[in-house]
Amino acid sequence: MAKTDILVINPGSTSTKLGVYRNMELLFETTIRHDPDKLLSFGPIPQQKDYRIQFIQEMLQENNYDLGQLKAVVARGGNISGLHSGGYLVNEDFCIGVSDPEIPQHACNLGAPIAYSIAQPLGIPAYIYDSPIGTDLTDVAKVSGFAGIERVGLYHVLNSRAQAINYAEQQGREYKDLSVIVCHLGGGITVTVHKDGKIIDGVSYDDGPMAPERTGGIPLLFWNKLCLSGKYTLEELEKLVCGKGGLYSYLGTTDCRAVEQMIADGNEEARLLYEAMAYQVAKGIATASVALKGKMDTIIITGGIAHSKMLTGMIMDYAAHIGPFTLMPGEDELFALASGANRILEGKEEASVYHLPGKEK
């Protein structure tokens, strides 16, 4: 049997996860922890590329891995507006696009340039798969309520699609033939609507439920006053929305296990806030169900904190009338990335090609 080796790279804010799969069996994986102060010293996130590549190469050498065995490199990321779900072949245009300071800056934007830099000398393809912004929102779903601002999908696309595909396989069906809602529960919480093999709508961290570290949709009139109060810089306000919002802003922790311990110890505020988060997640599921007019195969609850029976129990209690639930706790982003690249290599999916505006072919 021919060997198909795939290098998978998942850049995070202070870490880089990588793994090598051979015929979809994990050979090895590791997580590189970076010094946050060192990363900050580079300034803009794109400047971290060479620094992270150095660590990746060192880890591969420590595992005595011969890069010449690779058939492809795949990475997470690519917050370029207009991307669809699925895979993209990384080219120079894509690397320029994800380095644009005008797009949402996140460490995952490093994935494509890193993968491209490793793959090019080897003469093999580099891909990204299921960008966080890779959706196919319907025209009606894009309308925001204010002219000049359009809703874009910014969700946990990678894990959400992977679990929807896994569910379809378990049912002996094709993902494209299902209509499902996927609720990802993690440090951030998003809800996505899947129909005809596409994500057609969803509820994101800036307009949906609060999460362990994110505010979700909060009253704009009060938020506007806070923004103009002079107490915070733009960077600090963005951190409040994503990083220091949600449960953290109330209880000083993003660890749901710690919150559940507070509840067990009789902390009534923690109990109320935890139920409020579950309540808001249920409302997010209800909102998402509108896109399917209430007709769905299942509602999948996934993500790291989907392991919590307390939290998922409250969500399902509030949203039991919407549709049947399927619990698929946890996530494996490295495997999801490898699976996507493997489907492309096997010809089961076709990778899209990105061109900078004005260079479309």
Q: Does residue 340 contact residue 130 with C-beta atoms inside 8 Å?
A: yes
CA 3 – CA 21 distance, rounded (Å): 10
The per-residue DSSP string of 264-293 comes to: HTT-HHHHHHHHHHHHHHHHHHHHHHGGGT
The per-residue DSSP string of 111-176 comes to: HHHHHHHHHHHHT--EEEES-TT-----HHHHB-SSTT-B----S-HHHHHHHHHHHHHHTTS-GG
How many other C-beta atoms can be found within 10 angstroms of the C-beta atom of residue 196?
11
Q: Give pLDDT tens digits for 226-285.
A: 999 999 998 889 888 888 999 999 999 999 999 999 999 999 999 999 999 999 999 999
Q: Give pLDDT tens digits for 148-168.
A: 999 988 899 999 999 999 999
Residue 102 pLDDT: 80
At 92, the amino acid letter reads E
Identify the CA nearest to 113 among candidates 29, 16, 243, 238. 16
Counting Cα atoms < 13 Å in the Cβ hemisphere of 322 gives 25
List the single range of 72-76, 100-104, 315-319 with lowest mean pLDDT. Answer: 100-104
CA 34 – CA 50 distance, rounded (Å): 13
Q: Does residue 330 contact residue 307 with C-beta atoms inside 8 Å?
A: yes
CA 280 – CA 218 distance, rounded (Å): 11
What residue ranges define each of the domains in the chain, with the CATH number in brackets?
5-134+334-353 (3.30.420.40), 140-330 (3.30.420.40)
Which has the higher per-residue pLDDT, 73 or 359? Answer: 73
How many other C-beta atoms can be found within 10 angstroms of the C-beta atom of residue 56?
20
Percent of all residues in the chain with a pLDDT value above 90, rounded to a whole number:
81
Q: Give pLDDT tens digits for 108-150.
A: 899 999 999 999 999 999 999 999 888 999 999 999 999 999 9
Residue 274 pLDDT: 98
Q: Give pLDDT tens digits for 20-50.
A: 999 999 999 999 988 888 888 888 888 999 9
CA 125 – CA 119 distance, rounded (Å): 6
Q: Is the dihedral of CA 327, 329, 332, 335 positive or negative?
A: negative
Averaged pLDDT score across all residues of the chain: 93
